[in-house]
Amino acid sequence: MSTVGHLINGEIRNDADRLQDVYNPATGEVSKQVALASVATVEEAIAAAQAAFPAWRNTPVGKRAAVMFKFKALLEANADKICKLIGEEHGKISHDAAGELQRGIENVEYACGIAELLKGEHSRNVGPGIDSWSEFQALGVVAGITPFNFPAMVPLWMYPMAIACGNCFILKPSERDPSSALFVAELLQEAGLPPGVMSVVNGDKVAVDVLLEHQDIKAVSFVGSTPIAEYIYTTATANGKRCQALGGAKNHAIVMPDADMENAVNQLLGAAFGSSGERCMALSVAVAVGDEAADALIAKMSEGMKPLKVGPADDSSNDFGAVITKQHMDKVVGFIDSAEKDGAKVVVDGRGVKVAGYENGYFVGATLIDHVTANMESYQQEIFGPVLQVLRVDTMQEAMDLINAHEYGNGTCIFTRDGEAARYFSDNILVGMVGINVPLPVPVSYHSFGGWKRSLFGDLHAYGPDAARFYTKRKTITQRWPSSGVREGVSFSFPS
């Protein structure tokens, strides 16, 4: 059985004190094993990065960008292999994996323009013969800890910009689906990145805690659940590190009475059930304003869900695949059970679905639940599965109050034809990413991604312009060359 190892100082390493099984979610079978890094292994990666940093920091920015251009071309040339690795370990259907990878490539494309992003400001003659300017300098060795649900894209949110800014980077991907992240990192080496600048250490909490506590790690970026995000943020900052930690979500869509219901339903089908709902931007709650809108939504959603296909990743005719583990499958089913017990109505039931030839796979069918209320556990928690819950309210303000009261504030949207309502919604909703008739308002690569409230710990969002600031520190230089022969007296006043 093959083993997924580490990438340290430009070499693949398979050494490990411990091994963990990696499963194919569609079959429920072990497909390979992943090496879990020891403290010593992580420290070796950090030492290699620290040694590589001075030369990489001083590499001209144009040469750093040239590596990113080559990397982008290699990602495109190897897209099919990357998507296959994602499908085998995550369960994501090939067309969905291709979309994930494309969004990651767009972030590499943005990093290709790093020279423009690192230009500082310059002011001549701020005083007699005095010039002042700012520079954006690399931090040093930085780290990223990434989740299972986007094993290629989320790492590409982080290290292309971090490395282009002149840092060295250590990636700790999810141990549940590690192969695509490791293969993509190998492509970056092939693009000409010097050894040590990029390392991948596979592991669990042992590896994570080394990255959070080691004095040579200057910044940590994380994407995952809110409890872990909070732990990452508090531990990293307590150890003097810069940190951005993106957490969980409970994304609501308000469906107004005037909405184009056909369009809203089509958008909700993909946003709720795509990638088996294992997206931090998945729309898991529809808040219908008025019973007429709610009844129409339920009727059309029920009809639209009938042809949805769940199955293995390599069949592109499937709409979505298995969830990541048996434990997670049981958790999702448990939330459906809980909603039903609490008095909600399961309109379309995805529990107990079986796929021919894949009877041991971790499949949950598309599920629609009506008459959910805000006090139900299934509403309060992030389900992270192919489940859409419907809440009924009387007014748009009541719907907004529901959203604003929730602890998460990642993404939201409104379906309406009313420009005034849309403007009021976008101005007053307490959520970081807002869509108007757009169900998954994920920013493009030249904007930045991040939520509000307990969906984000830290001040700067992921990728885009914020990444250039997160992975650099500003230095302001004020310079004066006195004229020859001029001697000035001592002054004890504050300079002005």
- Alpha-carbon distance of 155 to 183, in angstroms, equals 12
pLDDT of residue 491: 79
pLDDT of residue 137: 97
- The tens digit of pLDDT for each residue in 159-172 reads 999 999 999 999 99
Q: Which domains does the chain have, with CATH numbers?
A: 3-247+455-477 (3.40.605.10), 251-436 (3.40.309.10)
Instruction: Retrieve residue 211's tokens.
Output: 């990255």
pLDDT of residue 171: 98
pLDDT of residue 36: 97
3-state class (DSSP) for residue 206 = helix
- The tens digit of pLDDT for each residue in 171-208 reads 999 999 999 999 999 999 999 999 999 999 999 999 99
User: Can you give the pTM of this predicted structure?
Assistant: 0.95
Which H/E stretch holds residue 209?
helix 205-213
Residue 280 annotated in active site: yes
Contacts of residue 52, Cβ cutoff 8 Å, sequence gap at least 6: 168, 194, 195, 196, 197
Single out the catalytic residue among 83, 112, 168, 280. 280
- Alpha-carbon distance of 409 to 249, in angstroms, equals 7
- Whether 140 and 168 have beta carbons less than 8 Å apart is answered as yes
Q: DSSP secondary-structure letter at 9? A: T
Q: What is the DSSP string of 212-271?
A: HH-TTEEEEEEES-HHHHHHHHHHHHHTT-EEEEE----EEEEE-TTS-HHHHHHHHHHH
Positions in the chain whose pLDDT score sits under 50: none
- Whether 124 and 152 have beta carbons less than 8 Å apart is answered as no
- Whether 280 and 223 have beta carbons less than 8 Å apart is answered as yes
Neighbours of 479 (CB within 10 A): 10
pLDDT of residue 496: 73
pLDDT of residue 419: 97
Residue reference for tokens 């990444």: 467
